[in-house]
Amino acid sequence: MAVADRIIVPLDVASEREALALVERLPQVTFWKVGLELFVSSGPGILEQLKQRQKRIFLDLKLHDIPNTMAGACRAAARYGVDLLTVHAAAGKTALVDCLEAAQTGAADVGIQPPQIIAVTLLTSIHARALAFELKVSLELTDYALQMALLAQESGLSGVVCSPQEAAALRQVLGSEFALVCPGVRPAWAGKNDQQRSMSPADAMQAGATYLVIGRPITAAAEPAAAFEQICQEISE
C-alpha cells in the first residue's frame, strides 16, 4: 500500500460545502474521515459525494450504546458503502459481535462489500491521570488499550483505533493482519492541539500503525497539498 493511501485526512468541518472545498484542494488524498459533526450536519449526502469522487471513507461515529441500537446503526451505515466504521470496544463483546454481523447483513442487502468494523480502545484525548482518577480504571493506559484491542479481535473485528504510543505493544500481541488506526499523529513542525498521546508520522508507522489519521497539520496549513506531500516524504525517508 502506498504511503499516501495510508493517511486518512479528517473532514472536521461543519458543512458539506466546506468539506467538498477541502476535498477539491487535496485531490491527492484518497482516504477521508467523516466524523460526528459533519455527518450530523450534512447527513449521508457527504458520503455519496465522496464515493462519486472514488474516495475511500472512514465513517468515524464511535458508536456506543446497547447492543441492539449499535447493531441497527451499523446495519444502516454499512449500506452507505463506507470502508471503515468505528464503535467503542467498551460497549462489550455482545455489542461488538452484533455490530459485525449487522454490518455484514446491511451490506449484503444492497450487494456491496461490508465495512471493516474498527473498535475504539481509548480516546487519544485521555491521558493516564484521567484514566485513573476520572474514569477510575486501575489498569495502566497501555494495558487498558491492549485489553480493549484483544476484546475487539476476539469478537472478529478488523482492527482498532489506538494512540500511536500504544501501537508497538498492540502490534506485538495482535499480529500483523490486525489493523491499527492511529490518530494523535503530529509532525514535529505541528502543534499537539488536544491530542495528549501524539507521535510523529514516521515513528507511528515504525511502531506498527496501519493507517494514520492526520488532520490539522494538513487541513489548517497555509498550503494543505504541500503539507500532505511533506508528511508523505517524511514517512518515506
Among all residues, which ones are annotated catalytic? 62
> From CA 13, how far away is CA 39, in angstroms rounded?
10
> From CA 219, how far away is CA 225, in angstroms rounded?
9
Report angle CA 227, 36, 95 to the nearest 5 degrees. 120
Count the neighbouring beta carbons within 10 Å of the beta carbon of residue 161.
31
- Selection from 75, 26, 78 nearest residue 55 by Cα: 26
